[in-house]
Amino acid sequence: MKLVIVTAVEEFQKEVLKLFKKANIENFSSSNIDGYKNGSSILMTSNWFSGGKGGNESSMFFSFTENENIDVLFNLIQEFNENLETNNPLKAVVVPIEKFI
């Protein structure tokens, strides 16, 4: 069992849910997050009088699942990213789990 974490801009939330389903990952959690691409955005948000938006509305999905499901998910994400017309690919990481209850 491993922990898989996927981040995506808000526009791709439904697509990520479809990819999880195709990968047979049915139990997962999600959270809304702000995504940043560079340090200047962070500096802008620290200024109270800044008129600019700080971060991009994004989502983070995570699941404790088996290696086989993660392999399928990574293949699906790679295929999804190859067909993107934007500069906001899905990002995914895997974290090994040493112990769990």
Per CATH, the number for 2-96 is: 3.30.70.120
pLDDT in tens, 18-77: 999 999 999 999 999 987 776 554 444 444 444 455 677 899 999 999 999 999 999 999
Joined together, the tokens standing for residue 72 give 């399928």
pTM for the full model?
0.80
pLDDT at site 34: 85
DSSP secondary structure letters along 15-40: HHHHHHHHTT----EEEEEEE-SSHH
Q: Is pLDDT of 7 > 50?
A: yes
pLDDT at site 40: 52
What's the alpha-carbon Rg for the chain, to the nearest Å? Answer: 16
In terms of C-beta density within 10 A (0-12 exposed, 13-18 middle, 19 or more buried), how is residue 4 classed?
buried
